[in-house]
C-alpha cells in the first residue's frame, strides 16, 4: 500500500483536478450510485429480517430484530413509561420482613413490574406474602459457580444472576432492566426521566459511582454500584446473558455482584455512614433517583424512624418529583442573611453572608462506608463546626400544598425539643426569632433534565408575614444575566 504524506498533497494542483475526470473513476461512481438506488428500493418493498447469532458459551440462539424507518418512528413516539421497566430486587428471606417497608414506599402493585429475588422460600413470619410488596421468586441454585473472595459472601453469585434470570422470564415490551437492593428506595418518576434521555434500542449501562473514594479504589471506578441501583438496556441485557455465567467464574475473586456485572460489561465493550443531612442539603444539580443503605444512616428527619422519614420525603416528591432536593440559595442584603433551600427537605438560615461556593459544598455529617473515616470522598465537603455561631439555623420540611398555577408552597419548621446550644450574638438573636420558612416554587418541568440546566434563583420576600416568624422565599427561574453572587 502506498502512503502519501498529507503535507505533500496540494488539493488544488492540476493533477488533483484532472483525476476526477478519469473515465474509470466515473464508471465506478456510476456503479455505486445504481447499487445504492437498487438497495433503497428493495428494502422499502420487503419487510425487515432477523439475524440469528450463535452463542459460543451457552449454545443458544437469539433473534436480533432490525428496524425499518417506519418502526423506528413509531417506537420513538412511544415514550418510555413505568411498564417498560422490569425491576430485579436483591433480597434475603432472613431480612425481608424488616426491609420490605422500604420497597413498599415506591412499589405500586399492578403497575410496577418485577420481582424480589430470594435465596430460599420466605420464612413463616413473612407469610402470607403481603400484597403491598413486590412478588417474589426464588433464585436458581448457584452451587456450581466458583466464588473465591476471602471476605465476601457467595450470595453475590446469586444476586449477579438476577439480571439473567429476569431476562429469561420473557416479559413483553421490556426496555430496561433495573437492579437494586431490598433497602433501595427508587424515585420512579425521576428514574424514568433519566432513562428517557437514552435510546433503549442501543446498549446502555447506567449507574453511579460510590461517594466514598475508598470504595471506588477497592472495587472499581467503572461500574454502577448495585445498591443505589443500575439500569441495563434490553439489547445490552441480551448480550450480557450470553456471557454472564462465564464471567461469574472468570471473576470469582471479586467481592460483589455489581463488580461481577461490571467485569462482564468491560468484556462487552452511593454509600456512607452517619447522617445524610450534609449530602442531601446540598444535592447536586441532578434528579434524585434512589436512596440506599437507609438502615445504616440516621433518619432523614429528627424525631422520626427511618421509614417514616422516607415517607415524609416522598410526600414532597409526589408534589414535584423533578424538584425534590434541588438546592437554591439567595441573600437578604439588608440583614446580611444567606438562605439555602434543599426543596422538600431542609432550609438553612445563616445570619451572615456565605459565598455560593460554600453553600453548594455539603457539610460533612457522614463518614466513609468501609472504614468509617472522615475522608476521602468523590466530592468536596466542608466542616460542620461545633461552635453554634459558625453553624446555620436548620429547618426541616413540614408539609406541601398546591396553590394554583402549577405552583407549590412548602413549609419548613425548626425541630421541636432540640436541646442545642445557641449562639449569643445579636445577629443570631434576630434569626432565632424566625420559626420557619414558606417557600413557593413553580412545578419543575422534567424536560429540563434533557438539557444542561442551571440552578434556579430565589428571593427573600420581606412582608407582614414575618411578624409571625415565617420567612417568605420565592424560587424561580433566573433572569437573563442574573447570577447568585455576593456584591
pLDDT of residue 293: 76
3-state secondary structure the chain: CCCCCHHHCCCCCHHHHHHCCCHHHHHHHHHHHHHHHHHHHHHHHCCCCEEEEECCCCCCEEEEECCCHHHHHHHHHCCCCHHHEEEEEECCCCCHHHHHHHHHHHCCCCCCEEEEEECCCCCHHHCCCCCCCCCEEECCCCCCCCCCCCCCCCHHHHHHCHHHHHHCCCCCCCCEEEEEECCCEECHHHHHHHHCCCCCCCCCEECCCCCEHHHHHHCCCCCCCCCCCEEEEHHHHHHHHHHHHHHHHHCCCCCCHHHHHHHHHHHHCCCEEECCHHHHHCCCCCCCCEECCHHHECCCCCCCCHHHHHHHHHHHHHHCHHHCCCEEEEEECCCCEEEEEECCCEEEEECCCCCHHHHCCCECCEEECCCCCCCCECCCCECCCCCHHHCCEEEEEEEEEECCCCEEEEEEECCCCCCCCCCCCHHHHHHHCCCEEEEEEECCCHHHHHCCCCCCEEEEECCHHHHHCEEEEEEECCCCCCCCCCC
pLDDT of residue 65: 40
Q: How many residues does the chain have?
A: 487
Q: Is the pLDDT of residue 37 over 60?
A: no
What's the grid cell of residue 318? 409526589
**For residue 228, what pLDDT is reported?**
66
On whether the CB atoms of residues 447 and 194 are closer than 8 A, the answer is no
The string of pLDDT tens digits covering residues 2-36 is: 332 233 323 323 333 333 344 554 455 445 444 44
Question: For 67-74, which contacts have Cβ atoms below 8 Å and span 24 or more sequence positions?
Answer: 67/201, 68/43
User: Quick check: 434 pLDDT over 80?
Assistant: yes
Report the distance separating Cα 444 and Cα 408, nearest Å: 10
User: 257 CB contacts (<8 Å, ≥6 apart)?
Assistant: 90, 155, 156, 157, 158, 159, 160, 162, 226
Task: Answer for the pair 85, 195: CB distance below 8 angstroms, yes or no.
Answer: yes
Q: For 174-220, what is each residue's pLDDT tens digit?
A: 999 999 889 889 999 999 998 998 899 998 888 755 455 445 444 44
pLDDT band per the 50, 70, 90 thresholds, residue 472: very high
**How many angstroms separate the CA atoms of 41 and 275, rounded?**
64
64 pLDDT band (50/70/90 cuts)? very low
Which grid cell is 53?
447469532
pLDDT score, position 277: 77
- Position 62 scores a pLDDT of 37
pLDDT band at 284 (very low <50, low <70, confident <90, very high): confident
pLDDT category at 77 given cuts 50, 70, 90 is low
**Mean confidence (pLDDT) of the chain:** 78
Percent of the chain with pLDDT over 70: 73
pLDDT at position 342: 96
d(CA 35, CA 38): 5
With 0.85 as the threshold, say if the pTM is over it. Answer: no
pLDDT in the model for residue 76: 53
Q: Which residue has the higher pLDDT, 265 or 282?
A: 282
**In this model, does residue 486 exceed pLDDT 80?**
no
pLDDT of residue 126: 80
Residue 286: its pLDDT value, please? 83
Tens-digit pLDDT profile for residues 398-433: 999 999 889 999 999 998 866 678 999 999 999 999
pLDDT digits (tens, 9 = 90+) for 288-304: 888 877 887 889 999 99
pLDDT in tens, 80-108: 999 999 999 999 998 898 899 999 999 99
Return the pLDDT at 251: 77
Beta-bridge partner residues of 341: 328, 347
pLDDT at 57: 41
Q: What is the pLDDT of residues 317-345, one digit of tens each?
A: 999 999 999 999 999 998 999 999 999 99
Residue 474: which pLDDT band, with cuts at 50, 70 and 90? very high
pLDDT at 63: 39
First to last CA, the chain: 66
Q: Are 345 and 316 in contact (CB under 8 A)?
A: yes
CA–CA gap between residue 446 and residue 193 (Å, rounded): 7
396 touches 301 (CB < 8 A): yes
Q: Tell me: the pLDDT tens digits for 348-389? A: 999 999 988 889 888 888 777 666 677 667 677 888 888 999
The reported pLDDT for the residue numbered 439 is 96
| pLDDT, greater one: 280 or 50 | 280
Amino acid at each position: 500500500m502506498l502512503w502519501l504524506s498529507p503535507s505533500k498533497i496540494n488539493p488544488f494542483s492540476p493533477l488533483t483536478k484532472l483525476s476526477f475526470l478519469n473515465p474509470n473513476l466515473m464508471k465506478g461512481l456510476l456503479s455505486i450510485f445504481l447499487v445504492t438506488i437498487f438497495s433503497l428500493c428493495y428494502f422499502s418493498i420487503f419487510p425487515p429480517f432477523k439475524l440469528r447469532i450463535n452463542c459460543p458459551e451457552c449454545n443458544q440462539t437469539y433473534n436480533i430484530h432490525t428496524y425499518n424507518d417506519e418502526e423506528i418512528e413509531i417506537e420513538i413516539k412511544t415514550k418510555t413509561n413505568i411498564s417498560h421497566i422490569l425491576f430485579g430486587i436483591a433480597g434475603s428471606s432472613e431480612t425481608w420482613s424488616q426491609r420490605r417497608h422500604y420497597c413498599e414506599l415506591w412499589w405500586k402493585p399492578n403497575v410496577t413490574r418485577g420481582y424480589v429475588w430470594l435465596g430460599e422460600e420466605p420464612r413463616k413470619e413473612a407469610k402470607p406474602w403481603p400484597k403491598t410488596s413486590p412478588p417474589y421468586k426464588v433464585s436458581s441454585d448457584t452451587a456450581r459457580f466458583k466464588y473465591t473472595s476471602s471476605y465476601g459472601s457467595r450470595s453475590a453469585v446469586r444476586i449477579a444472576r438476577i439480571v439473567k434470570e429476569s431476562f429469561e422470564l420473557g416479559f413483553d415490551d421490556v426496555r430496561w432492566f433495573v437492579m437494586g437492593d431490598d433497602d433501595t428506595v427508587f424515585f420512579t418518576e425521576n428514574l424514568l426521566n433519566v432513562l428517557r434521555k437514552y435510546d433503549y434500542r442501543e446498549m446502555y449501562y447506567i449507574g453511579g459511582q460510590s461517594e466514598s473514594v475508598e470504595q471506588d479504589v477497592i472495587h472499581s471506578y467503572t461500574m454502577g454500584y448495585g445498591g443505589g441501583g443500575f439500569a441495563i438496556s434490553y439489547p445490552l441485557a441480551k448480550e450480557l446473558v450470553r456471557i454472564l455465567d462465564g464471567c461469574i467464574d472468570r471473576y470469582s475473586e471479586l467481592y460483589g455482584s455489581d463488580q461481577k456485572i461490571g467485569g462482564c460489561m468491560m468484556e462487552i465493550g452511593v454509600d456512607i455512614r452517619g447522617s445524610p443531612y450534609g449530602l442531601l442539603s446540598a444535592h447536586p444539580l441532578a434528579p434524585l433517583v434512589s436512596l440506599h443503605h437507609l438502615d445504616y444512616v440516621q433518619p432523614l428527619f429528627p424525631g422520626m424512624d427511618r421509614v417514616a422519614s422516607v415517607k415524609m420525603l416522598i410526600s414532597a416528591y409526589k408534589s414535584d418529583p423533578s424538584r425534590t432536593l434541588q438546592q437554591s440559595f439567595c441573600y437578604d442584603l439588608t440583614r446580611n442573611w444567606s438562605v439555602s433551600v434543599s426543596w422538600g427537605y431542609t432550609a438553612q438560615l445563616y445570619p451572615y453572608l456565605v459565598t455560593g461556593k460554600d453553600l453548594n459544598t455539603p457539610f460533612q455529617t457522614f463518614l466513609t462506608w468501609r472504614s468509617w473515616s472522615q475522608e476521602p470522598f468523590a466530592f468536596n465537603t466542608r466542616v460542620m463546626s461545633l461552635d453554634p455561631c459558625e453553624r446555620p439555623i436548620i429547618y426541616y420540611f413540614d408539609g406541601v400544598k398546591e396553590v394554583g398555577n402549577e405552583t407549590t408552597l412548602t413549609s419548613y419548621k425548626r425541630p421541636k425539643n432540640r436541646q442545642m446550644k445557641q449562639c449569643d450574638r445579636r445577629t443570631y438573636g434576630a434569626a432565632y426569632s424566625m420559626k420557619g420558612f414558606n417557600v413557593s416554587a413553580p412545578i419543575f418541568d422534567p424536560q429540563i433534565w434533557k438539557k444542561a440546566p442551571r440552578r434556579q434563583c430565589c428571593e427573600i420576600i420581606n412582608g407582614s408575614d414575618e411578624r409571625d416568624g415565617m420567612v417568605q422565599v420565592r424560587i424561580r427561574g433566573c433572569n437573563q444575566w442574573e447570577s447568585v453572587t455576593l456584591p
